[in-house]
Amino acid sequence: MARTQPSPLVHDLQAALGIEAVLFEPEDLLPYEFDSSIDRSAPDVVVLPRTTEEVAAAARIAEEHHVPVVPRGSGTGFAGGAVAVMGGLLVVLTRMNAIREIDAANRLAVVEPGVINLDLQDALSSFGLLYAPDPSSQRICTIGGNVGTNSGGPHTLAHGSTVNHVLGLEVVLPGGSVVNLGSRQVDAPGIDLRGLFVGSEGTLGIVTAITVRLIRENEAIRTMLAIFSTVDEASNAVSEVIRRRVVPMAMEMLDQETIRVVEPRVNAGYPLDAGAVLLMEVEGLVEAVDQDSEIVIEACKSQGARDIRIARTAEEREALWEGRKSAIGALGHTAPALYLLDGVVPRSRLPEVLHQVLGLSREYGFKCANMFHAGDGNLHPTVLFDPEEEGATERVLQLGGEIMKLCVDAGGSITGEHGIGTEKREYMDWIFSEADLEAMSSVRLAFDPTGRFNPCKILPTGHGCAQGHFEPIKRKLGPGIYV
Ligand SMILES: Cc1cc2nc3c(=O)[nH]c(=O)nc-3n(C[C@H](O)[C@H](O)[C@H](O)COP(=O)(O)OP(=O)(O)OC[C@H]3O[C@@H](n4cnc5c(N)ncnc54)[C@H](O)[C@@H]3O)c2cc1C
């Protein structure tokens, strides 16, 4: 097969990072065309740096060649954030995967961005410590990607999302300078640029090291599965538990569609005839766990729970969680493609919005499964479809837009944890005013005056590329504004 001639950009990158750290043959770029969203677009070049200096060199070279720069972790994001929609340079951080330090006395760790979330959790277990953010993708996603999207997870309900657990960041800015934001203490002096960078989806810079806050493992944990005949009962139970002043560490709901797919594959212990199950966890001192569990059980019974099972061993707990954490993968076996949405509604409106979501999906002719962080009101309707079917992708995206509108109209939001990416940038003006968006745009341009870092993400102004999902993305290389 004829080999591609290295472009001047490739040549300069090879000189700075070494030949094996630079990919540019079309077949080598294929795995980097997509993340877990529907968007697809090939970068021109991929680099796999090993050090902050190499990331800085790549950013400088991209600036000299006037090409877009897109940071990427494992590519598990659902919003298209790691897709190089305008081509250019994709900086893949997975080789920067060292846990540089665990400081148990001061309850912090310093990690490189390519560290897999679960690898950090495993490394901490012998210290009796935890890094609280635990996305369901924790076996594969990176801490850098978690920072990029401000990831949540089942335990966000009690502990908050990634932003609450990041103390400091080392960042390569557009142009290649390296800055340190935040500190090793909770209360860093100065303007909180650390907070600004968490959730900025790679539009302000590339994170090359992260100082994270650690928490102590709790003395006792009780994991419970409440079984309901309907989604309404389960949703009402979520509000009832919190109304009784207990905030469990986690409250995850799986509906019937999901249970029927997951249980035969995982043997988690979810009854196949349940309308919905709530997977809940309370943690703390032994006495408090006993007391809180009683309140949770009573609250669930009061809303019609027909059974409540308590995990008696670590293996039983593991099995209950395995069902939840494998749900998306299991659903992936039942249809050629999934479109997983991420919206938020006030907890009290869960039953009504879930009915509307299922009704809309039926109108569009799609099956829709639901498994989500119910305690946060963070919905993940998962629409099953076949992209080969004429018009199916367009219809599924249209349905996604309508579901997001339902969430906003119910007083919620267009994302709980997956970010905006390309997927939802056109919905941003449903929740932000022109002045709000202008303020975000000014901040972005202050760090990146040409908008070269992760163009066409988050902000809806979109002058540099096509609007929405249906028009082909127009490439705009060379100097200019990409936001
Ligand atoms: C099965 C499954 C379950 C999931 N469950 C959850 C869940 O419970 N909670 C949740 O929040 N998400 C979940 N996700 C979504 C996804 O895993 C998270 O958004 C995760 O944080 C993405 O990490 P990543 O390494 O794959 O990042 P990528 O997808 O590679 O990138 C995500 C974004 O971060 C930016 N980015 C990546 N690395 C850097 C860096 N070093 N510096 C600056 N920007 C960077 C990218 O440009 C992009 O905008 C799930 C995904 C799957 C497939």
Q: Which ligand 1 atom is nearest residue 134's CA? A: 8
Binning the chain into helix, strand and coil, the percentages to the nearest 5 are 35, 20, 40
- Residue 362 has a pLDDT of 96
Domain with CATH 3.30.70.2740 in the chain: 335-425
Where do you find CATH 3.30.70.2190 in the chain?
220-328
Q: Is 162 in the pocket of ligand 1 (CB under 6 A)?
A: no
pTM, rounded to two decimals: 0.93
- Produce one character per residue of 438-451: b if its CB has 16 or more CB atoms within 10 Å, e if not: eebbeebeebbebb
Contacts with 122 (C-beta within 8 Å, 6 or more apart), sequence order? none
Q: Ligand 1 pocket: which of 76, 150, 161, 339 to mutate (most atoms <8 Å of CB)?
A: 76
473: CB partners within 8 A, 6+ apart: 41, 85, 86, 456, 465, 466
Average pLDDT for 176-198:
94
C-alpha 92 – ligand 1 centre gap (Å): 13
43 C-beta closer than 6 A to ligand 1: no
Question: pLDDT digits over 425-473, tens only?
Answer: 999 999 999 999 999 999 999 999 989 999 999 998 653 343 333 333 3
Query: Which one is the CATH code of 220-328: 3.30.43.10, 3.30.70.2190, 3.90.1070.10, 1.10.150.120?
Result: 3.30.70.2190
Distance from residue 276's CA to the centre of ligand 1 (Å): 27
Domain(s) of CATH 3.30.465.10: residues in the chain: 1-217
Is any ligand 1 atom within 6 A of the Cβ of residue 37?
Answer: no
Residues with Cβ within 8 Å of 390's Cβ and at least 6 positions away in sequence, in order, are none
Average pLDDT value for residue range 304-313: 97
* Residue burial 29-64, b: 16+ Cβ < 10 Å; e: rest: beebbbbbbbbebebbbbbbbbebebbbbbbbbbee
Residue 1 pLDDT: 61
Cβ neighbours around 101 below 10 Å, total: 12
472, 457 contact by CB (below 8 A)? no
Would you say the CB of residue 452 lies under 6 angstroms from ligand 1?
A: no
- Cα radius of gyration rounded to whole Å, the chain: 23
With a 6 Å cutoff on the Cβ, whether 153 touches ligand 1 is yes
Tokens representing 121 are: 């959790």
State mean pLDDT over 264-272. Answer: 95
200 C-alpha to center of ligand 1: Å? 12
At 483, is the pLDDT very low, low, confident or very high (cuts 50, 70, 90)?
very low
| Res 3: pLDDT | 76
Taking the domain 1-217, which CATH number applies? 3.30.465.10
Ranges assigned E (strand) in 229-317: 250-255, 276-284, 307-310
pLDDT digits (tens, 9 = 90+) for 387-428: 999 999 999 999 999 999 999 999 999 999 999 999 999 999
Q: Looking at the domain covering 335-425, what would its CATH class be?
A: alpha beta
Q: How many CA atoms lie within 13 Å of 371's alpha carbon, on the beta-carbon side?
A: 23
Nearest to 115 by CA among 90, 148, 154, 143: 143
Q: In what order do the strands lie in the sheet with 108-111?
A: 99-103, 108-111, 206-213, 166-172, 178-182
Section 237-244 average pLDDT: 95
Q: How far is the CA of 74 from the centre of ligand 1 (A)?
A: 7
Give the bridge partners for 45, in sequence order: 89
Query: In the predicted model, is pLDDT for residue 477 greater than 50?
Result: no
